[in-house]
Amino acid sequence: MSSIYKKYDLKPVINASGRMTILGVSTPLPEVVAAVNLGLTHYFEMQDLVDKTGAYIAGLLAVESAVVVSCASAGIAQCVAGVIIQDDADLLLNLHAKPTLVPCEIVIPKGHNVNYGAPVATMVALGGGKVVEAGWANECSSEQLAAVITPNTAAILYIKSHHTVQKSMLTVADAVAVAKTHGLPLIVDAAAEEDLRLYYQLGADLVIYSGAKAIEGPSSGLVLGREKYVAWVKKQSKGIGRAMKVGKEGILGLTCAIETFLSREQESADQMVNKMQGFMSALNAISGVSAKVVWDGAGRDIARTEIYFDHDVLGVKATEVVAALKCGEIAIYFREYKANEGKIEVDVRSVSTSQLDVISQQIRQLLQEKPQ
Ligand SMILES: *Cc1c(COP(=O)(O)O)cnc(C)c1O
């Protein structure tokens, strides 16, 4: 294990920031690793593998249809391509090569047109779509969404994420109602969400998840939804989907991860709080530093440690602490959205108790306090 770090001159990482793409997202459980390994070491009739794992996942989730894709971004691009191309065999082979003469506008609330690490609009463009924004930077109502729908609209895209503007935004159920009224499909990007059934049950036609985030699978994505739409998405393997192909290992790994995810008891917020007790005591013993439990801002059942660095006492800013801890022999990454206010958050889900000890020791050392 550690020889890989040595061989390629890589830094070991303690990930206290959550499911972060820049750090490798998550570390799948042994049974998922075994499924990946089984995939890598066997042959399959690939079309059968795609169809039958998709049907298996659909059965687990009580949805009409599902397909494993290479990542959520590929899911967005292929859902967009699917609703534009539909059953047009010529367009499937000529998307981007010929002018698109069918509806290709994808309506999206302006506050959802975000950059999650790459822009949503780039994925829409990859799928042959043209983003049409509805509403304003800080608000979008059902009426504002409906107002930009024209005969050239192919679908409505809703991004369910902490990355988007949350205030004065229509809900997924509202978007479903608008889509139904106008006879359009609704695509929901729920990449990092934990509920694999909710948006489908609310009436979305296609729902997209990232395989490695909440589900903790290998790099992969899941598209689920109504039969007709998922069938259009699957056709993309002969078009743009070929450039974003998922391997047999990803297909089997994610299918296993979904099953495990549904059956395993999720670490509860109470368990997270228990895990961080000793860590918080160690931090609170350092003068100028205080630690307390905070709850996930997006309403998920996640507890985190918030550490406050008192600039007046320490003479050091939280932003400097964060920067320094990334530069140590072990790179430590925190949630640093509020670092400019002196606060950082520790997401303990991917951190062992011994790693929490390392973090508190490193902070103590950095602030040049002697161990007690
Ligand atoms: C992470 C994320 C994506 C992309 O997921 P990948 O699987 O990394 O492609 C898309 N949309 C949102 C809202 C995300 O949070």
- pLDDT tens track for 256-280: 999 999 998 888 889 999 999 999 9
Would you say residue 340 lies in a domain? yes
Q: What is the pTM of this model?
A: 0.92
List per-residue pLDDT tens for the chain, 372 residues long.
578 999 999 999 999 998 888 999 888 999 999 999 999 999 999 999 999 999 999 999 999 999 999 999 999 999 999 999 999 999 999 999 989 899 999 999 999 999 999 999 999 999 999 999 999 999 999 999 999 999 999 999 999 998 899 899 999 999 999 999 999 999 999 999 999 999 999 999 999 999 999 999 999 999 999 999 999 999 999 999 999 999 999 999 999 999 999 998 888 889 999 999 999 999 999 999 999 999 987 777 889 999 999 999 999 999 999 999 999 889 999 999 899 999 999 999 889 999 999 999 999 999 975 444
Nearest CA to 161 out of 125, 127, 120 is that of 120
Choose the residue to mutate in 73, 160, 172, 219 for probing ligand 1, maximizing ligand atoms within 8 Å of C-beta: 73
Name the burial class of residue 330, with classes exposed (0-12), middle (13-18) and buried (19+) by CB atoms within 10 angstroms of its CB. Answer: middle
Predicted pLDDT of residue 370 = 43
pLDDT digits (tens, 9 = 90+) for 221-233: 999 999 999 999 9
| Ligand 1 center–CA 92 separation, angstroms | 25
SS3 222: strand
* 216 Rama sector, left if φ>0, alpha if ψ -120 to 50, beta otherwise: left
Would you say residue 172 lies in a domain? yes
**Cβ 116 under 6 angstroms from ligand 1:** yes
DSSP string, 51-119: HHHHHHHHHHHT-SEEEEES-HHHHHHHHHHHHHHTT-HHHHHHTTTS---S--EEEEEGGG--BSSSB
Q: Whose structure tokens read 């981007």?
A: 96
**Cβ 122 under 6 angstroms from ligand 1:** no
Predicted pLDDT of residue 371 = 43
Predicted pLDDT of residue 368 = 78
Closest ligand 1 atom number to CA of residue 210: 7
Would you say residue 165 lies in a domain? yes
Last residue of some domain: 246, 263, 280?
Answer: 263
DSSP string, 160-197: -STTS--TTB--HHHHHHHHHHTT--EEEE-TT-S-SS
Predicted pLDDT of residue 311 = 94
**Cβ 210 under 6 angstroms from ligand 1:** yes
Q: Ligand 1, atom 11: nearest CA belongs to which residue? A: 191
| Ligand 1 center–CA 117 separation, angstroms | 8
Q: How many domains does the chain have?
A: 2
For residue 130, give the CATH number of its domain.
3.40.640.10
- Same domain assignment for residues 285 and 362: yes
- Same domain assignment for residues 235 and 296: no
The amino acid at residue 47 is Q
Contact 325, 336 (CB under 8 A): no
- Same domain assignment for residues 228 and 340: no
Predicted pLDDT of residue 339 = 94
| Ligand 1 center–CA 310 separation, angstroms | 35
Last residue of some domain: 208, 228, 263?
Answer: 263
Q: Whose structure tokens read 């903790």?
A: 216
| Ligand 1 center–CA 26 separation, angstroms | 13
Domain hosting 172: range is: 28-263
